[in-house]
């Protein structure tokens, strides 16, 4: 089952779910017809220049989301949070994870057993540390979220390990 999920995610990326840059290396700008309702996925890609991202995000968010950085373990605002709500991409507001799928993995980062749906996150290969890992990116804006590992609890057996700086929590009302 895990292999199938990763294959589906790889196919999604091959079709064009990843990345915001055009062929010139510059990101085109703009977005249209987006909506931001809890649980609904935004349908249009959000593409901004790096300067626009820098003005929109805090320095820590920019480092994690756009430069594929990682916050130190046990320092993020959501790693131990138990508040009910919807975790959204801090860069574009797309709904990603439910509080109901969050658990304490002991890793020091917010961990989830699954995204709210398969369309919100995309997976791509990451070889940045000399080992092959599966990177998670927001399917709407291409921002780095964290990584997915196959050592999670049932029912999925997956651990979506996400940086707090990549998330905003919209509390349940």
Output the DSSP codes for 50-106.
HHHHHHHS-HHHHHHHHH---PPTT-STTTT----EEEEETTT--EEEEGGGEE--S
**Catalytic: 161?**
yes
Taking CA atoms, 18 is separated from 14, 86, 102, in Å, by 8, 23, 24
Catalytic one of 89, 138, 141, 161: 161
Residues with a catalytic annotation lie at 161
């Amino acid at each position: 089952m895990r292999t199938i999920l990763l294959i589906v995610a790889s196919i999604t990326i091959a079709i064009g779910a990843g990345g915001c840059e055009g062929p010139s290396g510059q990101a085109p700008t703009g977005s249209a017809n987006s909506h931001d309702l809890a649980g609904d996925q935004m349908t249009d890609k959000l593409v901004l220049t790096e300067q626009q991202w820098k003005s929109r995000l805090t320095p820590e968010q920019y480092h994690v989301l756009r430069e594929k950085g990682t916050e130190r373990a046990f320092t993020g605002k959501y790693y131990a949070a138990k508040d009910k709500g919807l975790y959204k991409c801090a860069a574009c507001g797309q709904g990603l994870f439910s509080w109901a799928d969050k658990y304490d993995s002991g890793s020091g980062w917010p961990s989830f057993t699954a995204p709210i749906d398969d369309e919100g996150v995309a997976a791509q290969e990451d070889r940045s540390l000399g080992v092959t890992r599966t990177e998670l990116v927001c399917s709407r804006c291409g921002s780095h979220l964290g990584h997915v590992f196959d050592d999670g609890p049932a029912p999925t057996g997956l651990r979506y390990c996400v940086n707090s700086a990549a998330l905003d929590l919209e509390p349940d009302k």
